[in-house]
Amino acid sequence: MVRQFDDSERTIDSGEDIDVLNIAAICPATHALGPGLRAVLWVQGCIFHCPGCVAPDWIPIRPARLARPEEILPELISDTRITGLTFSGGEPMLQAAGLARLARLAREQRDLDIICFTGFQKSFLEKSPPGPGVMDLLDQVDVLIDGPYISRLNDDKGLRGSQNQRIHFLTNRLAGFDFENIPRRVEIKLSNGQAFLVGVPPVRLDEAFNRAVDKANRMKLELLRYERV
């Protein structure tokens, strides 16, 4: 989840290169989105528009930060303690080819596990991939958490956002981790005028987060007014 403190935005034209990733944000180290210490990449753009989405700023399909997998790889694996990658968004399956290449490049340098969130159901992805690289990405993923977020089914448990979502162990790599029942954990990170809430938020925590960011914005405006006097 992210709330902007300002309205600055960097945009680049990606052309037709399906390997170029449109990145909403990167967190180089967190314990909140899977076992171990993980690096997380959120892509920009989603077609689901789930009511109550924790990252509404990342729904619009518009240029954010555009980069090739090899360009951003050092940000994700620079910390030698990292044991895995988590892909979220936005909707990762809309950028599957780039994420699949990123996963392969990362594993050439480090033995990492990979978790991916998606609003698409696994069966749909296998029968009707929404874009290039979907099956290639699924070949790289160890755990897929699928299905759209439904706020009334949020049971405040585990790494899935709502009860309709399913945990698919595509390999045995993380089979011992209880994705469905572990207590939720979040981390708040501040960087470059942004406040990030990393993790699947417990019920009502997102409301408190939004209030805190709104207060920070008001304090910033008051400071600006004071400096202009």
CATH number, residue 72: 3.20.20
Q: Across the chain, what does the average pLDDT equal?
A: 85
Q: What is the domain count for the chain?
A: 1
Give the mean pLDDT of 102-114: 97
Contact predicate 155/138, CB 8 Å: no
How many residues are there in the chain? 229
In 20-178, which ranges are continuous DSSP H helix?
69-77, 96-109, 122-127, 134-140
pLDDT above 70: residue 72: yes
Contact predicate 59/52, CB 8 Å: no
Confidence at 117, pLDDT banded by 50, 70, 90: very high
Confidence at 185, pLDDT banded by 50, 70, 90: confident
Q: Tell me which residue range forms the domain holding 155.
A: 2-228
Per-residue confidence (pLDDT) for residue 196, from 0 to 100: 73
Confidence at 215, pLDDT banded by 50, 70, 90: low
Q: Please give the backbone phi and psi of residue 33, each rounded to the nearest 5 degrees, phi first.
A: -130, 50
